[in-house]
A = this chain, B = another copy of it.
Amino acid sequence: MPHGTDSLLLQMFTIFVWAKVFGELFERLHLPAVLGEILAGVVLGPYATRFVLPGDTIYSIAEVGAVFLLFTVGLETSPSDLIKVGRLSLRVAVAGIVLPFLMGFLFLKWHSEPTHEAVFVAAAMVATSVGITARVLRDMNVQKSRTAQIILGAAVFDDILGMLLLGVLVSTVTTGGVQWLHLGLVTFEAVGFAVFMIFVAPRVVDRLEPGIQRMQTQDAPLVLALALCLGLSVAATRIGMAAIIGAFFAGLAFADYSPRWNLEPRAQAINQFLSPFFFFTMGSRLDLSVFSRSVVLVALALSALAVVSKIVGCGLPLYREGWRSMLQVGVGMTPRGEVALIVALIGLQMNMISQRAYALVIVMTAVTTLLPAPFLRMLFAPTIAAGAPSEVSAEVQVTGHLR
């Protein structure tokens, strides 16, 4: 084979192995594996040891990896479960998005950052990644408690709202400057897309099912799901949104069929292969030289703000249920993850944010991901004493998220 492929395979091997080695080490220290994979990229990448300098093809593979990552997140987000978890979860999700966005934006504006940069960083502060919380709750066997169910439901709404916000953002930025009419149109477009994918698309899949069963192609449901994932990613970019938004909604359309067609473990297998390239290159883009003393301080302040605004925002709608429930839900919703990273990455690629702002988001993601677990264990300890049922439902579908 030509030299190009050889060196591509060598890069893929090196990145895959190091990402997984760092991930394994992090898991053994009871830290999230993704942070290990990102750190591998930081340590071995062009801004530190320069041991691995990812080429263009690796970056392309990483972005396809991001698309599949969000596809899998969508696949774990069952629209029919949404209707069950109800309005309280929706209120938790909305308040938990509005408050971090506003506080992040105002903090950065007050810190004299340009508006577009403040908007992107604030948007990255929005989306909860509930994988770690789901795992802690499962380990403690409290996933069926009332607050756990609220968290898992809110996280699902949160994903969708985060995607909508990102869609509006990218679309607005692409046209340059905020025009209110355009903003309105884009919001309408994004909401329409979401509503269609949540309420109409699953029914279309429902109607198509007999036809899919009759298809002769091997693994026809998986093939169709992959085709829709690629197709909606392209469609999303065509209407000016990010590709991952299409991928997410493609996953959503198949979510209710995922168990019957055994889609999730197979989508996860593709993910296991591709996502290390995404997380590694996320790390490799982090320019360590931006970390002056003042940037570290801003990063820590922003991280604190991300934690506090999420706890307060998500806790408030539960004011009637006492401080423990408020804290359980607030702390449970604190971790950010892949969506935050992707928002920052898109901002970086669109030249909307600087290397410095990119670094802020990485630190914020790391802090919000690392902090909550021990507090969550403390907060849920009394729930265990009260005895929680052991049935597993929505939780199983969320676990794969961010490990």
A residues near B, CB below 8 A? 1-2, 4-6, 8-10, 12-13, 16-17, 20, 23-24, 27-28, 33, 56-57, 60-61, 63-64, 67, 215-219, 222-223, 226-227, 230-231, 233-234, 237, 242-243, 265-270, 272-273, 346, 349-350, 400, 403
Contact = CB atoms under 8 A, between A and B. Distances in A.
Contacts of A13: 227, 230-231, 233-234
8 contacts: A2-B350, A5-B243, A8-B64, A17-B231, A20-B217, A27-B216, A33-B216, A266-B272
Nearest to A232: B13
Contacts of A269: 219, 222, 265-267, 269-270
Given A63-B5, A269-B222, A24 B231 contact: no
Contacts of A1: 63, 237, 242-243, 346, 349
Contacts of A60: 4-5, 8, 57
B272 A230 contact: no
A28 to B, nearest CB: 6
Nearest to A349: B2
A9 B272 contact: no
A12 B226 CA distance: 11
A9 B270 contact: no
A64 B12 contact: yes
Q: Which of A222, A242, A346 has the most C-beta atoms of chain B within 10 angstroms of its own C-beta?
A: A222
Contacts of A28: 216
Contacts of A268: 219, 266
Nearest to A351: B2
